[in-house]
Amino acid sequence: MPIAQRPYWTALITALMGTLSLPAAATNGMNLEAYGAQAGGMGGASMAYDNGNSALMNNPATLGLRQEGQNIGVGMTLLMPDVKTITPFGSTANSGGDEYWMPSASYIRKSGSFTYGVGMLAQGGMGTEYGSALSGNPNLPFRSEVGFGRLMFPLAYNVNPRLTVGGQLDYVWASMDAQMSPDGVNYVSFSDNNDFTGEASGNGWAFKLGAHYKLSDTVSVGASYHSKTNIDDLQGSGTFNFMPANFKVIDFQWPETYGVGVAWQASPSWLLAADIKHLGWKNSMRTFRLAVNGMEMGLPQNWQNQTVYLLGAQYTLRPGLALRFGINHASNPVPDGTLNPLFPATVKTHYTLGLGWTIGGGHSVAGSVAFAPKVTSTNPNMFGPGMAGTVTHGQTVLRVNYNYAF
């Protein structure tokens, strides 16, 4: 039965008319503010120094900065968002989606001038879990979840003692769950209620390029380009107004990303790093296209491109033990006019702290924490013309990595 026959629910659900229900995918828009515990402790800065196997998601050229040999790495990221929505009716809806686990694993080998290997990483995986808190009806839950993963094949080459270049091919997969009203009238549900998969899924390819250059023995620069993904339309099944339906999410892509950075070994104890990064959300999150039983709906997103500034430092307390800290600041890519309670990707600043420990025998571990203070944003028409809604979003990100070199 169409939602329009329930006047109370229609008023509440009009919040979703302008944008599609997707995860509150957090940090720098949907992109994590850092990849790997070492970079995670240094504000995400990673373009111009050796940050281990996590270079697969940062700058693949820095894989070539290591010593010869083989290296195995595993890691886990825990993303803990805190999202709530204040409605014009005086109620507050809290999202129950507060823990999202993202694993990684990699094998890298350097032999002579070449460095190569393979790695897997869950690039993003979170969402919102409002249940009936937005609709007031247990038969009309609202949730969203999206996940991106990559299987990556890097190759780095030391051109000479100062210049290293890298290239990488990425096999990318994406999945999505959504329970929502895309137009304020009809109710759509495609969801497998699994924390690690989504009902609608697709796969495709992307690539990365990178370069690293040593200006001197203590100062280096780096640059990296990540292509926009080329993923098939995500397809799945569920219900449309409580009747069986087939769904297709059309041309849902991860954006083009590029950045540059500098690293300075200021003293034997101090390493300083700074990056600037550009995320091309404008081309990948302009309009969200959803087809239901072959009928397509175009839902505006109108995200803006995002510039991210990343600053970090590492202080060696003693040989094998390093303390890291940093800051990550980005503009907000989501316009107030399209802010959605199920997709408040509005966090701007992260403060980070980390620790690295070389145990010996080739073993090392690293951990980091990033804290993003709450950001409050208001869409003046979130729940209909003149009916404002306010979303508050903060989060904490924990990372841990283990590495074995042999």
Q: Considering only CA atoms, which of 300, 13, 232 is closest in space to residue 136?
A: 13
Cα–Cα distance for residue pair 262/160, rounded to 1 Å = 19
pLDDT at 123: 76
Q: Considering only CA atoms, which of 153, 180, 250, 155 is closest in space to residue 3?
A: 180
Q: State the DSSP string of 11-25.
A: HHHGGGSSS------
- Residue 198 in 3-state DSSP? coil
Only one residue has tokens 């051109």, namely: 159
pLDDT per residue of the chain (406 residues) written in tens, 0 to 9: 344 433 333 433 333 333 333 443 457 888 899 999 999 999 999 999 999 999 999 999 999 999 999 999 999 999 999 999 998 888 899 998 888 888 999 999 999 999 999 999 987 656 789 988 888 888 889 888 888 899 999 999 999 999 999 999 999 999 999 898 877 788 999 998 776 778 999 999 999 999 999 999 999 999 999 999 999 999 999 999 999 999 999 999 999 999 999 999 999 999 999 999 999 999 988 888 999 998 898 778 899 999 999 999 999 999 999 999 999 999 889 899 988 888 788 899 999 999 999 999 999 999 999 999 999 999 998 878 888 989 999 999 999 999 999 9
Dihedral, CA of residue 129, residue 133, residue 139 and residue 143, to nearest 10 = -20
Cα–Cα distance for residue pair 91/255, rounded to 1 Å = 35
pLDDT at 244: 96
68 neighbors 112 (Cβ within 8 angstroms): yes
- CA-based Rg of the chain, rounded to a whole angstrom? 22
For the chain, which residues make up each domain, given as ranges?
Answer: 3-405
User: Within a 10 A sphere around the Cβ of 350, how many other Cβ atoms?
Assistant: 28
**Region class of 170: left (phi > 0), else alpha (psi between -120 and 50), else beta:** beta
Only one residue has tokens 């790093």, namely: 273
pLDDT at 124: 65
Whether the CA torsion 300, 245, 205, 55 is positive or negative: it is positive
pLDDT at 127: 78
Cα–Cα distance for residue pair 98/126, rounded to 1 Å = 8
User: Within a 10 A sphere around the Cβ of 203, how many other Cβ atoms?
Assistant: 16
pLDDT at 71: 96
Give 70's strand partners: 109
Amino acid found at 117:
G
Read off the pLDDT of residues 293-346 as tens digits, 9 standing for 90 and up.
988 987 788 999 999 999 999 999 999 999 999 999 998 898 999 888 887 888
Fold of domain 3-405 = Porin (2.40.160)
261 neighbors 276 (Cβ within 8 angstroms): yes
Cα–Cα distance for residue pair 40/33, rounded to 1 Å = 8
Q: State the DSSP string of 137-193.
A: -TTS-EEEEEEEEEEEEEEEEE-SSSEEEEEEEEEEEEEEEEEE-SSSSS-EEE---
pLDDT at 17: 33
- Residue 405 in 3-state DSSP? strand
369 neighbors 398 (Cβ within 8 angstroms): yes
127 neighbors 141 (Cβ within 8 angstroms): no
Cα–Cα distance for residue pair 48/51, rounded to 1 Å = 9
Cα–Cα distance for residue pair 367/398, rounded to 1 Å = 8
Q: How many CA atoms lie within 13 A of 179 on its CB side?
A: 18
Question: Pairing relation of β-strands 100-111 and 92-94?
Answer: unpaired
pLDDT at 7: 36
pLDDT at 298: 79
pLDDT at 125: 58
